[in-house]
Structure formats: C-alpha cells, structure tokens
Structure 1
Amino acid sequence: MAAGTLAYADKRAGIMALLGFSAGIPILLIFSSLSLWLREAGVDRSTVTMFSWAALGYSFKFIWAPLIDALPLPVLTRTLGRRRGWLLVAQLMIIGAILWMASVNPANGTQLFAMAVGAVWLGFSSATQDIVIDAYRIELADTQMQSVLSATYNAGYRIGMIVAGAGALFLAEYFGSVKDAYIYEAWRNTYWVMAAVMGVGVATTLMIREPAVNRAPPERPVGDYARLVLVFVCAVSVFVACFAGLGKLLPEVEGVLAGFLLEAITLVASLAAALGVGTALVHAGVVQKQVAVTTWVEPILDFFRRYGKSAFLLLLLIGLYRISDIVAGVISNVFYEDMGFSKSEIATAVKLYGVIMVIIGGFVGGIVAQRFALCKR
C-alpha cells in the first residue's frame, strides 16, 4: 500500500493533475453554469435543456480521434511533437470558444444561435483536448502506472469542475447577477475569468515533454490528410443538417417517452446519413479506401479483437456510468435556484462538497488499483 501511495509523488502524476484541471474547466461552462446563465437571462427551460446537445462531441469523439492521431499539424508537430501540438491547438480553441460565449448576451433572443454556436465550438474543442490528453497519458507511462495517472487526472479534472462550477457561480454573484436582477456584464466577466484560467493548461502544455514512443504514424502525402479532413467535414455537415432538418419536419409529440423516442430516431437517422455520405465519398475515390480503413475502421476492430466479448460490456459501462451525472447536471442548477437557493449556496453544497467526495473516491480507486492486479489483455 505504501508503494502505491508513493507513486502519487511521481512527476508524471503532477503533469496529469494539471492536464486534468485544464480538461475539467470547459464541461460545466456548457452544462450547469451555462444553464443558470441562460435561465437568469430569461431563456425558457426547454431551450436551456436543448443546449445540452452542444456537448454531443464528448459522446462521439471516437469518430475523429483516429484523425487526430494520424494528422500532423504544420510547424507545431515538428516543434512541439504530435501530442503537444494538438493539445495546444485544442486549448487555444477552448479559450476562443469561451471568449465567444462571453461576447453573447442570451437575453437578446436573436443572439441565442450565436451562443449555441459557441457552446458547440466549446464542446468540440474540449472533446478534442480529452482525446489528446488520453493519448498522452497512455504514452507517458507503463500499464502499472496508469491507475495513478488516471486518479490524479480525475482529481485535477474535478478541481477544474469546482472552478468552472462553484467558482463561476461565486463570481457571477460577486459581479452582481442574481435571479431577479440579471446583469449580462457579470456573466461576461465570469467567462472572461474562465478563459484566463485555461492559461494553466496552455502553460502546462508548453512546459511538459513529448512522450517517447516507438510507434510512428505512417507517412502520407499532404493530399491524403486533406481529403480525410474533407470527408470528415462533409459527414459532420450532413449530420448537423439532418438533425436540424428532421427536428423541424417531425411533428411535436406530448409525453416524455414519446419525445425521447422521437429524439432518438432523429439522432440515429442523422448518424446513418452521415455514415452513408462518408462511405459514399470513400467509394467515389475522394479518399483512398485503405487510408480511410486504417484511420477509422482498424482502431475499432483492434478494440474488439483485444477485448473480445468484454468489449460490449466495456462499451455499456462507458456509455451508461455517467447518465445520472449528465442528466442532473444540465438542469439541476436551474431547479435549485427556482427553489430559492442563491448561487453561492448552490456552489457550496453541490459544486464544492459533492466534487470533493468524487476526488477522494478517485484517489481511493487509484490506490486500490495499485494494490490489486488490473485486468490484462
């Protein structure tokens, strides 16, 4: 047990804590903090909950993760390395998205679309940062050390959530915005502060070293990479267009279950359309079939080959274990404020104490994983 505890003093554990902090900032700026801002600005609850779709990138980041792994960045890959280059780009995109959202006043109904664009931009950028951090963590240490790195990453992530959750609410109240006296400048200043806090992640990226790995991505002509990006952009555009179009064409239904089923059908149909367009572009020769298979198909097949029947259980675990957290996180702050609680009370009870217990649980889990053997494949 002592050896497992001492592993937390490793420099690499500290690096992952700082990167985790950077990863924990954006998510609540899309979910609970943004929900409270929108509600104070007079946006109705149904529209507030729709903004949770902005975080869809977290669920589907596996689609562009292979592209991030294969695509080199001009100048940055050569100067910083494959992981650090992409990490810096993702973090700068996050800062840009937060500043964009800060510039929008949702009380002006005509600006809600601009806020939605900023939220989607933030979700995509944050999911991209998560992809690169996960790859960096895996390459940074051997399997035995991964539980410690995951625990410290989780601790940093949750501390980032405290800052973006409790910290944002404290700041908005300090700057003067309350339920019955909405002040746009208070929330704008709060998001400015959150953008500045992301500087911790940027500084960490510039100071750490690139992991030493033996595997090198296959060298391809620049045109192959450009065509991969083109196929990805076309597929995403079709998904967005189908999702928005079907939402307008399909009739409105009453009842929670019927509404959920309708949204699920819309999502599946949009994904199928995007997949169909991507496949058609590959068959049309826009990108070489072997390049597309190597980038997108082989990593998925490798996952199923490696874990066999357990792969489905792992996917179920990954897909379901945070449902309660996500569902409650979107609207819970609005619910608490409607009950009469102030932002500082919500921040203290929910965003501070609750997250602290999660951090403690993460460290306990890391120590237990160090003590007992991990499942090996």
Structure 2
Amino acid sequence: MTTTLAAGSPIEGLPLPARPSARRLFGLYLLLGFAAGLPFYMFNAVLTLRLSKHGVDIVIIGFFAWIALLPTFKFLWAPLVERYDVPGFARFWGRRRGWIMLSQLGIFTAMVAMAFTSNDKSLPLTALFAVLLAFWTTTLEVAADGWRIELAPTQAEQAPIVAANLWGYRSAMVAAGSGAILVAARADWTIAYLVIAFAAFLPFPILAAMRAERDGATGRVPALLAGIGASLLILLVAALVTAAAGWLLLSAAEGAGISAKTNVTPVVLAVALLPFVLLALALPRINRLSADALAGKSGFAAPYVELFWRYGYAVLAVLAFVSLYRMGDVLTLTLSHPLWNEAGYSLEQIGFADGVVALSASMAGVALGGLLSTRLSLGWTLGIGAVTAAAGNWIYVWLWHSEASAFVLYTSVAIDQFGNGFAGAVFVIYLSMLVSPAHPAAQYALLSGFAFLLPRLLAGASGSMQTQIGYDGFFLLSGALSFAAIFLLPVIVRVKGRVAT
C-alpha cells in the first residue's frame, strides 16, 4: 500500500480531481446509500427474526445484537481508510472508491457464507459471518462518509446529499428486510440471503464502469484484476483474524460463566460508562496543548486529539447527547421483529410492513428532516427528531396490547419509521458539522461510532431486559431514553469549537 494525501489536497505532479455536479453528487450518494443499506438488516433485524424462527432463546438473540457494536469501533480502522490505498483499485478509481469496492466484495462473500449456514445449527459460525458482514458494511460507510464531507463541507450542501444517502440507505435496508423475509416465506433462508447478496453486489460493476478519478488515467482492466486479487487476500486474512478473536472471546465468556441465564445488564452499563471516564481523564492534558503542539501531532491519534482539543470539556456533553439521541431506534430494531413474531404476525405481514410501509414512512421522514434542516436551526430540528423518535418507540406498547391486525402493525411501523427517518437525517447533518475538514472520515467515524456505543451495548442486553420488564416496559423505556436527549439541547446548541491560530 502507498501513502498519499487525502482527496482534495494537492498532490505533486497531478491535477486535483474535478468536483462532481450537485446532480451527480445526489445520484452518487443514492447509490452509495443503497450499497451500504442492503446488508445492514441481514446481520441485524432479519438475523434476529431468523434466529427467532429457529427457536433460539430470546436472551441469546439479544446477544447477537452486539454484532452491531462493531460499527461503533470503526474509528480504530478509519485512519487506515484515510491514509492508505487499496492495491489495484486505487490506481484507477482513487482511494475512496477503492475502499468501497473492496468492502463490496467483503459484503458479498460474507452474505453468501451466511446463506449456506442459514440453518443456524452452529451459532458461533453464524456469528462469525455476521461479524464479517458488519465489518465490511461499516468500512464502506467510513469511506463514503469521508468523501461526502470533503465534497460538501457546509450545512446547506450537506442537507440534500444526506437526504439522498439516507433515501438510498433506507430504501435498500427496508427492501432487503422485506425482500429477504418474503423470499424466506416462499422458499427458505438460504435463497433469501443469496438474493440479497447478489443485489448488494450490483453497485460494484457500476463503480467499476465509472471513469477514473483523474483525467488521463489508463489501465482499467489491469487495475480491476489486481484489485480483485489483492481484495481476496485481504478478505481471507480478515476472516482468519475474526475467527481467532471470536474463539478467544467465546472461551473467555464461557470461562466467566456467562450464559443465557446471566443478567448482563449491570456489566453492560459499567462498560458503557468506561469511555466517558477515560476521556474525562485525558481531556485536561489535551486542553493544555498549544496550537503549535496540536499542529505537530500526527499518526493514528491526531484526528481524535484535534477533535477533543477543539471542543474541550464540552465534548463530554456532545458525546452524552449523541449517545442518547438514537437510543430508541437501536433498541427498537433489536426486538421489534421478535415482538411481531410473538404477537402472531406472519412472515408475509412482516415482509409487507418492512417493505412498502416502512420505506414510504422512512422516506417521508428523511425528506422532511432534510428540508427543515435547510430552514430551521439544528437545535429545533434535533428537538423535533427526538420527539418523533420517542413516539416511534412508544407506539409498540399499543401494538403489544392490541389484537393482531394489519392496521395495528402497519400503523405502528409507519410511525416508527417516520420518526426514525426524520431523526436520522438531522442527526447525520449535526455530526457532519462537528468534524474538521482536515480529518473528515476519522472524526466522523469516531462521532457516529460513539453515538451507537451505549445503544448497542444495551441492545445486547435487550433480551435480558425483556424477560424482566416485558415488551411494553422495554419499549416505554427505550422511548424515554431517546426523549431524554432533549434536556441536553440547551447545552449542545451553545457548543462552539476553538480555532488553532
């Protein structure tokens, strides 16, 4: 791999890449959102439904939600995406597209592996391929997010691109969930995962057919062949490392006596507080850095030191806010499908709810969130988003206590997905405004990853919580946690970063 400067920086001897038009950017991020959204449900909501249909204990299903923790730690490898090229691919398509193409190959192979182990007779094997799917999906998002922030640095520019990205993401995510469930209802889970795997791979040839990053570049076919060869080697190494890490983790859990009967909630809460404690200990030293010392920082930690230095102690309030804001959405995604299954809804009904209903409501929420973000302050739009997200959680209490009917299911899903789409759009814009143009991918990876750390930690304990407080208590709690973010808004809207002079 060779180190080069980030996109948008002058590279000796080469002209800068042309910035795509607004129309092309909109279409590009529809495509990238689609590419990232298709696999998400397959290691999350669809997988929990699949496990539920196979009779896996609800507590174990909750443990599988911890696979979604992986994206919260994307800051650990985001600097690699920021600094290094993928051999072969980058030579013709550039660094960002090179990582995206590698990630798509990883997504395809992981989902095919999940298809051929869809009987879930070996849960460790199911977990291995789900983790790999989550890893490559996240890597695609890291590359795409960094590129987006570079191409559209202001709030006004971000709003339409974020809307396009979320439209693509949510339409693909919902279509994958609905499509996989309907195919599974008529065939089996193996066919369902294979169908989505091939659909998720469709953007790869489209990206490969796109023009070179810089005018005059040649050698498309050699670059493609070299990139595929290097990618297969990278995928094999990633699978072996993941398998070894998983074996060590499972051995440690077994040695600690953790099982389906273990109440892991107190441990999860203690782990969730640890990053705040470590950051609070590090902040005094970071705050004392001079501007010259900050400018001299390089390497892995530089993007994160700059972020914490810029916001100082206010970063603790920012991180607390982002940790709460999407809480309800994550918790709802974990147990909503098992809830529907236990409430007596068929796969066909769930598939329609996850498809036409969820997609329409989510798109409407994203559109309204993006529109209001161009006309109102972020404080107002974030507040509205918190209310709509909380309502989307609380509506499932009504569903649980109502007689099963299409009207109840579709109304609940529509309200949930509208709030999810609205809150998601304004939240992405908010996070994008916090990052430095010098480190967009790494800092966005940290903020967006941290935003889901606490929710996904708790999601892993959701099965344990459900056995203690029931479905109604669980969804009342998840909605209340999302709503609580409102109380931090008066502090958040006054946070301003200092500038190195």
Using the size of structure 2 for normalisation, the TM-score is 0.57
CA contact (8 A) 2:128 2:243 kept: no
Return the offset for 1:99: 0.3
Aligned equivalent of 2:45, options 32, 48, 59 = 32
Q: Does 1:56 align with 2:51?
A: no
Q: 1:199 to 1:158 in 2, by over 3 A?
A: same
Return the offset for 1:17: 1.1
Aligned to 1:68: 81
Return the offset for 1:157: 0.8
Relative contact order, higher structure (CA 8 A, sep 6+) = 1
1:261 partner letter? P
Q: Matches of 1:310 and 1:209 in 2, distance apart?
A: 44
Return the offset for 1:38: 1.7
Return the offset for 1:149: 0.6
Query: Once the two structures are superposed, what CA deviation does each residue of 1:288-312 show, in whole Å capped at 9, x if it has no partner?
Result: xxxxx73321110122233445433
Query: Once the two structures are superposed, what CA deviation does each residue of 1:165-191 show, in whole Å capped at 9, x if it has no partner?
Result: 11211111122xxxxxxxxxx110111
Return the offset for 1:74: 1.7
Return the offset for 1:342: 0.5
Q: 1:126 to 1:107 in 2, by over 3 A?
A: closer
The 5 A counterparts of 1:122-271 are: 122-143=133-154, 144-175=156-187, 186-208=188-210, 243-251=249-257, 258-264=263-269
Q: 1:42 to 1:241 in 2, by over 3 A?
A: closer
Once structures 1 and 2 are overlaid, which stretch shifts more, 314-323 or 120-129? 314-323
Q: 1:373 to 1:322 in 2, by over 3 A?
A: closer
Please state whether the residue corresponding to 1:137 is helix, strand or coil. Answer: helix
Q: Matches of 1:332 and 1:18 in 2, distance apart?
A: 28
Please state whether the residue corresponding to 2:299 is helix, strand or coil. Answer: helix
Aligned to 1:18: 31
Return the offset for 1:326: 1.8
Please state whether the residue corresponding to 1:294 is helix, strand or coil. Answer: coil
Return the offset for 1:357: 2.1
Return the offset for 1:208: 4.6
Return the offset for 1:145: 1.2
CA contact (8 A) 1:56 1:123 kept: no
Return the offset for 1:209: 5.8
Return the offset for 1:80: 1.4
CA contact (8 A) 1:21 1:159 kept: yes
Q: 1:148 to 1:117 in 2, by over 3 A?
A: same
1:260 partner letter? T
Aligned equivalent of 1:359, options 360, 363, 376 = 363
Q: How many residues align?
A: 317
CA contact (8 A) 1:43 1:106 kept: no
Aligned to 1:225: none
Q: Does 1:300 align with 2:304?
A: yes
Aligned to 2:484: none
Query: Once the two structures are superposed, what CA deviation does each residue of 1:45-91 show, in whole Å capped at 9, x if it has no partner?
Result: 22222211222211111111112211222222212111010110011
Aligned to 2:327: 323
Return the offset for 1:116: 0.9
Backbone CA RMSD of aligned residues: 3.4
CA contact (8 A) 2:39 2:137 kept: yes
Q: Matches of 1:51 and 1:21 in 2, distance apart?
A: 24
Return the offset for 1:322: 2.2
CA contact (8 A) 2:182 2:347 kept: yes
Please state whether the residue corresponding to 2:87 is helix, strand or coil. Answer: coil
Query: Once the two structures are superposed, what CA deviation does each residue of 1:19-44 show, in whole Å capped at 9, x if it has no partner?
Result: 10111111110111111112222322
Return the offset for 1:95: 0.5
1:338 partner letter? E
Q: Does 1:43 align with 2:56?
A: yes
Q: Matches of 2:270 and 2:140 in 1, distance apart?
A: 29
Q: 1:307 to 1:360 in 2, by over 3 A?
A: farther
- Uncovered stretches (5+) of structure 1, i.e. residues with no partner: 1-7, 176-185, 213-231, 273-292
CA contact (8 A) 2:60 2:260 kept: no
Aligned equivalent of 2:342, options 310, 335, 338 = 338
Q: 1:197 to 1:369 in 2, by over 3 A?
A: same
Aligned to 1:220: none
Q: Matches of 1:351 and 1:101 in 2, distance apart?
A: 22
1:141 partner letter? A
Aligned to 2:116: 103
Please state whether the residue corresponding to 2:264 is helix, strand or coil. Answer: helix
1:136 partner letter? W
- Uncovered stretches (5+) of structure 2, i.e. residues with no partner: 1-20, 215-237, 278-296, 379-432, 435-496
CA contact (8 A) 2:92 2:213 kept: no
Please state whether the residue corresponding to 2:202 is helix, strand or coil. Answer: helix
Aligned to 2:98: 85
CA contact (8 A) 1:253 1:259 kept: no
Using the size of structure 1 for normalisation, the TM-score is 0.74
Aligned to 2:127: 116
CA contact (8 A) 1:91 1:129 kept: yes
Q: Matches of 1:72 and 1:207 in 2, distance apart?
A: 19
Query: Once the two structures are superposed, what CA deviation does each residue of 1:211-259 show, in whole Å capped at 9, x if it has no partner?
Result: 78xxxxxxxxxxxxxxxxxxx9999899757743442233459999x52
1:327 partner letter? L
CA contact (8 A) 1:38 1:106 kept: no
1:250 partner letter? A
